Chain A
Amino acid sequence: MLTDSKSQRVENVLGLLLFLGMLMTLYNVFIYAPTEKSMGDVQRIFYFHVPSAFVAFLGFLVCAGYSVAFLIKRNHRYDRVAYVSAEIGVLFSTIVLITGMIWARPIWQTWWTWDPRLTTMFILWFLYIAYLMLRNFTGEDERGARFAAVFAIIASADVPIVYMSIRWWGDRMMHPKPVLMGDEDSGLAPEMLYTFLFALAVFLILYFYLMMLRLRQERTAEILNSMKKNLALNEE
């Protein structure tokens, strides 16, 4: 009952892939990839910063999608996925903000600037912190899940609005443009591109691995809780 053997096997495979992938990524990032000409070694943080941003956005996107699905289908499992995904999203957006600051300090001579991307990420972080707090303060029941789903929908609609309004606020764009699919002169050297894509793939595996791990934890916690309840009833 407790362990579903098939998903357990998938989890093990992902874990192994992740271990090898992480070793490879470290090698790629610190030894294989060439040093960037104008920024120097600091640029290497890019290989962690951008994939973290991808994972954070993926996490919030999954959270919003499963929240809508939960409100329509009322399946408790959708709610669990939304919750766990938001958690991982908050973790990785924290990493994005911190690695960004570490990079910005030597390059921009400042930890922080109110650039549209930075500000949007920061507000996004607040929104999903609020989401997690809301979940903690409403308890485990179905009502709390509904509240959280409603908030997740409003929050995800808020993200493009925040970005737009800050762009209108004034031209404070400092953040580098996307190097992929950007202008012609903004491409990456082939070695860098390979390192980046490899790191991105490993981060995506990490996301799915963490999702599976947390979902299993939540499931186990639920089974444990219902067992406890049964025991308490029997004792009475």
Chain B
Amino acid sequence: MTLVYKDLLSEFRSRETISSMLVFSMLVVAIFNFAFDPGSAYAQQAAPGILWVAFTFSGIIGLNRSFVHEVDKGCLHGLLLAPFEHGAIFFGKMLGNLIFISIVELLTLPLFAVFFNLQTLQGLPQLLVVILLTTLGFSAVGTLFSAISVNTKTREMMLPILFLPVVIPILLAAVNATAMIFDGKGWNDISDWLRLLAAFDLIFISLAYLTFGFVVEE
């Protein structure tokens, strides 16, 4: 818990990660408008995919930063010496990442709705649940891989290569559920995808929690 507080505090003091994530995810949404003919039926169809591409890539930026400070300033050694389990460090970092990515996603969403002319207000609760579940899975996998990639020679390059193929199933479920929500479907129709997302989250969180100790040990 203290760890989450520390991460949030240092972020709110500098605001560097969140602001760059936010600008990036807005840019992705804007760029896709040029890639597809703006306002065309084509762009409307691709809207759920575009939303999730924006969230995924901006998420990677945030996850990349997650351990950079810890390693560069030697904080990780301090954390490891501190009298709590490695699992606690994992959950602290994961929660921090979850909060960062969620904030960026929530801020991107209104802009996205404006650009794509969505009347999403009625599906909003469903969409928020999908976003939360997906981001939870992203943070679990991302926190683990971020701790790995920060220690490799290529650093930022490595995270997407490790992260993207692993999260494909989560992404697929999220895009499908989102497409259904945009079509005006209710809770019952997306409950299958939601359950699938929850199951993935459970698997990835427990696996990442179990293996995190092996990554950070000295």
Chain A contacts to B: CB under 8 angstroms: 71, 123, 126-127, 129-130, 133-134, 137-139, 143, 146-147, 149-151, 153-155, 157-158, 161-162, 164-166, 168-169
Question: Could you tell me if B158 and A155 are in contact, using CB atoms closer than 8 angstroms?
Answer: no
Give the distance to chain A from B194, nearest Cβ to Cβ, in Å: 12
With A149-B214, A157-B207, A161-B200 as contacts: A138 and B152 at CB distance below 8 Å: yes
With A138-B153, A151-B148 as contacts: A162 and B168 at CB distance below 8 Å: yes
A-B contact pairs, 9 of them (CB 8 A): A134-B161, A151-B148, A157-B207, A158-B165, A161-B169, A161-B200, A161-B203, A166-B172, A169-B176
Q: Which 4 A-B pairs give the minimum distances between C-beta atoms?
A: A165-B169, A126-B165, A137-B152, A150-B211
The verdict on B196 contacting chain A, using a C-beta distance below 8 Å, is yes
Query: What residue of chain A has the Cβ atom nearest to residue B162's Cβ?
Result: A130
Question: Could you tell me if A130 and B151 are in contact, using CB atoms closer than 8 angstroms?
Answer: no
> Which residues from chain B contact A162 at a C-beta distance below 8 Å?
168-169
Give the distance to chain B from A90, nearest Cβ to Cβ, in Å: 13
Give the distance to chain B from A150, nearest Cβ to Cβ, in Å: 4
CA A150 – CA B207 in complex, angstroms? 9
The verdict on B144 contacting chain A, using a C-beta distance below 8 Å, is yes
Question: Could you tell me if A123 and B176 are in contact, using CB atoms closer than 8 angstroms?
Answer: no
With A165-B173, A165-B196 as contacts: A158 and B148 at CB distance below 8 Å: no
> Which residues from chain A contact B168 at a C-beta distance below 8 Å?
123, 162, 165
> Which residues from chain A contact B152 at a C-beta distance below 8 Å?
134, 137-138, 147
Give the distance to chain B from A88, nearest Cβ to Cβ, in Å: 19
With A134-B152, A138-B151, A162-B169 as contacts: A150 and B144 at CB distance below 8 Å: yes
CA A222 – CA B192 in complex, angstroms? 51
Give the distance to chain A from B164, nearest Cβ to Cβ, in Å: 8
Question: Could you tell me if A134 and B148 are in contact, using CB atoms closer than 8 angstroms?
Answer: yes
> Which residues from chain A contact B215 at a C-beta distance below 8 Å?
146-147, 150
Give the distance to chain B from A32, nearest Cβ to Cβ, in Å: 40
* Residue from B144, B158, B166 within 8 A of A134 (CB atoms): B158
With A150-B215, A164-B169 as contacts: A137 and B153 at CB distance below 8 Å: yes
> Which residues from chain B contact A164 at a C-beta distance below 8 Å?
169, 196
Known: A137-B153, A139-B153. 16 other contacts (CB 8 A): A71-B214, A133-B158, A134-B152, A134-B162, A137-B154, A137-B158, A138-B152, A146-B217, A147-B148, A147-B151, A150-B215, A153-B207, A154-B207, A155-B165, A166-B172, A168-B196
Q: How many residues on the B side are at the interface (Cβ–Cβ under 8 A)?
A: 31
Interface of A is mostly: helix
CA A158 – CA B172 in complex, angstroms? 13
CA A73 – CA B136 in complex, angstroms? 32
> Which residues from chain B contact A137 at a C-beta distance below 8 Å?
152-154, 158
Give the distance to chain B from A155, nearest Cβ to Cβ, in Å: 7
> Which residues from chain B contact A133 at a C-beta distance below 8 Å?
158, 161
> Which residues from chain A contact B193 at a C-beta distance below 8 Å?
168
> Which residues from chain B contact A129 at a C-beta distance below 8 Å?
161
> Quick one: CB contact mask for B35-76 with A, threshold 8 Å, 1 for yes?
000000000000000000000000000000000000000000
The verdict on B101 contacting chain A, using a C-beta distance below 8 Å, is no
> Quick one: CB contact mask for B131-146 with A, threshold 8 Å, 1 for yes?
0000000000100110
The verdict on B89 contacting chain A, using a C-beta distance below 8 Å, is no
Question: Could you tell me if B172 and A169 are in contact, using CB atoms closer than 8 angstroms?
Answer: yes
CA A161 – CA B165 in complex, angstroms? 12
> Which residues from chain A contact B208 at a C-beta distance below 8 Å?
154
CA A42 – CA B217 in complex, angstroms? 53
> Which residues from chain A contact B173 at a C-beta distance below 8 Å?
165, 168
Give the distance to chain B from A159, nearest Cβ to Cβ, in Å: 10
